[in-house]
Amino acid sequence: MKNLVAHDPWHVVQDGFDAENNRVFESLFSLGNGHFGGRGNHEETYSGDSLPGNYLAGIYYPDPTRVGWWKNGYPDYFAKVLNAPDWKTLSIRVNDVELDLATAEVAEYRRELNMREGTLERSFTATLSNGVEVHVESLRFVSLPNPELGAFRYRITCATDASVVITSAIQGDVVNEDSNHEFGFWDPVREAAQDNRTVVVSKTKKTEFVVAIGGSLTFAAEPEVEATTFTRSLYAASTYSLNVSAGQTIEMVKLGANVTSRTVDPSLVEDRCNQVLDAAETKGFLELLADHIGAWERNWETSDVQITGDPGAQQGIRFNIFGLNSTFTGDDPDLNIGPKGFTGEKYGGVTYWDTEAFCLPFYLATSAPEVSKNLLRYRHRQLGKAIENAEKLGFTDGAALYPMVTINGEECHNEWEITFEEIHRNGAIAFAIFNYIRYTGDSRYLVEGGLDVLVAISRFWAQRVSWSHKRACWVMLGVTGPNEYENNVNNNWYTSLMAQWTLRYTLASLAETDADSVPDVSPEELARWADVAERIYLPEDAERGIFLQQSEYLDKEMITVADLDSSDRPLNQKWSWDRILRSPFIKQADVLQGMWVFEDRFDLPTLQRNFDFYEPRTVHESSLSPSIHAVLAVRLGRLDKALEMMLRTARLDLDDYNNDTEDGCHTTSMAGSWIAVVLGFGGLKIVDGQLHLNPQLPPGWDGLAFQILHRSARLNVSATTEEITIENQSVTPATLFLAGGQLTIAGQEMVNVPL
Q: Closer to ligand BGC at the Cβ: 424 or 528?
A: 424
Catalytic residue positions, numbered: 484
Structural contact between residues 84 and 213, judged by C-beta atoms closer than 8 angstroms: yes
Q: 635 by DSSP, 3-state: which? A: helix
Minimum CB separation from ligand BGC for residue 326, in Å?
17
Q: Pick the stretch among 281-289, 345-353, 366-374, 463-471 that binds ligand BGC (CB under 6 A).
A: 345-353
Q: Closer to ligand BGC at the Cβ: 139 or 665?
A: 665
Q: Pick the stretch among 56-64, 113-121, 178-186, 351-359 that binds ligand BGC (CB under 6 A).
A: 351-359
Q: Closer to ligand BGC at the Cβ: 587 or 648?
A: 587
Contacts of 634 (CB under 8 A, 6+ apart): 642, 680, 681, 683, 696
The size of the interface with ligand BGC (CB under 6 A), counted in residues, is: 12
Bridge partners for 231 per DSSP: 236
The residue from 124, 285, 328, 353 that contacts ligand BGC (CB under 6 A) is 353
Nearest-angstrom CA–CA distance, 558 and 576: 19
Nearest-angstrom CA–CA distance, 417 and 410: 17
Structural contact between residues 251 and 203, judged by C-beta atoms closer than 8 angstroms: no
Nearest-angstrom CA–CA distance, 12 and 112: 6
Does 339 sit near ligand BGC (CB under 6 A)?
yes
Residue 595: name the closest of 738, 480, 482, 443 by CA.
482
Does 417 sit near ligand BGC (CB under 6 A)?
no
Residue 518: name the closest of 449, 460, 458 by CA.
449
**Contact letters for ligand BGC, residues 286-325 (x by CB under 6 A):** ----------------------------------------
**Contact letters for ligand BGC, residues 584-623 (x by CB under 6 A):** ---xx---------------------------------x-
Q: Pick the stretch among 316-324, 348-356, 649-657, 720-728 that binds ligand BGC (CB under 6 A).
A: 348-356
> Which whole-number Å values give the CA distances from 589 to 42, 337, 339, 474, 489, in the listed order?
38, 21, 17, 24, 16
Q: Closer to ligand BGC at the Cβ: 259 or 360?
A: 360
User: Whose CB is nearest to ligand BGC?
Assistant: 339
Residues 217-246, interacting with ligand BGC (CB under 6 A): none
Work out the angle between the directed axes of helices 451-464 and 383-392 (0-180°, nearest 10): 10
Minimum CB separation from ligand BGC for residue 337, in Å?
10
Q: Closer to ligand BGC at the Cβ: 197 or 617?
A: 617
Minimum CB separation from ligand BGC for residue 572, in Å?
9
Minimum CB separation from ligand BGC for residue 625, in Å?
8
Does 484 sit near ligand BGC (CB under 6 A)?
yes
Nearest-angstrom CA–CA distance, 556 and 569: 19
The residue from 63, 121, 133, 354 that contacts ligand BGC (CB under 6 A) is 354
Q: Pick the stretch among 60-68, 300-308, 347-355, 496-504 that binds ligand BGC (CB under 6 A).
A: 347-355
Minimum CB separation from ligand BGC for residue 204, in Å?
24
Q: Closer to ligand BGC at the Cβ: 458 or 668?
A: 668
Q: Closer to ligand BGC at the Cβ: 43 or 484?
A: 484
Q: 533 by DSSP, 3-state: which? A: helix
Contacts of 34 (CB under 8 A, 6+ apart): 57, 147, 326, 327, 328, 329, 330, 331, 332, 335
Query: Given CA atoms 707, 709, 715, 718 in this order, what sign does their dihedral have?
Result: negative
Minimum CB separation from ligand BGC for residue 674, in Å?
16
Q: Pick the stretch among 67-75, 349-357, 563-571, 632-640 that binds ligand BGC (CB under 6 A).
A: 349-357
Q: Closer to ligand BGC at the Cβ: 17 or 352?
A: 352
The residue from 17, 185, 342, 352 that contacts ligand BGC (CB under 6 A) is 352
Does 402 sit near ligand BGC (CB under 6 A)?
no
Q: 2 by DSSP, 3-state: which? A: coil
The residue from 87, 347, 613, 674 that contacts ligand BGC (CB under 6 A) is 347
Phi, psi at 262, each rounded to 5°: -65, -30
Buried b (16+ CB within 10 A) or exposed e, 563-593: ebeeebeebeeebeeeebbebbbbbbbbbbb
Q: 312 by DSSP, 3-state: which? A: helix
Work out the angle between the directed axes of helices 667-674 and 311-327 (0-180°, nearest 10): 130
> Which whole-number Å values give the CA distances from 488 to 422, 424, 581, 615, 685, in the listed order?
9, 13, 10, 22, 34
The residue from 462, 624, 679, 693 that contacts ligand BGC (CB under 6 A) is 624
Question: What is the 3-state secondary structure of 323-343?
Answer: HHHHHCCCCCCCCCCCCCCCC
Minimum CB separation from ligand BGC for residue 738, in Å?
34
Q: Closer to ligand BGC at the Cβ: 339 or 341?
A: 339
Contacts of 521 (CB under 8 A, 6+ apart): 455, 510
Nearest-angstrom CA–CA distance, 38 and 543: 53
The residue from 198, 668, 673, 696 that contacts ligand BGC (CB under 6 A) is 668
Q: Pick the stretch among 283-291, 346-354, 384-392, 642-650 that binds ligand BGC (CB under 6 A).
A: 346-354
DSSP 121-168: EEEEEEE-TTS-EEEEEEEEEE-SSSTTEEEEEEEEEESS-EEEEEEE
Residues 560-589, interacting with ligand BGC (CB under 6 A): 587-588
Nearest-angstrom CA–CA distance, 723 and 463: 52
**Contact letters for ligand BGC, residues 69-108 (x by CB under 6 A):** ----------------------------------------
Q: Closer to ligand BGC at the Cβ: 43 or 660?
A: 660
Residues that bind ligand BGC (CB under 6 A): 339, 347, 352-354, 482, 484, 587-588, 622, 624, 668
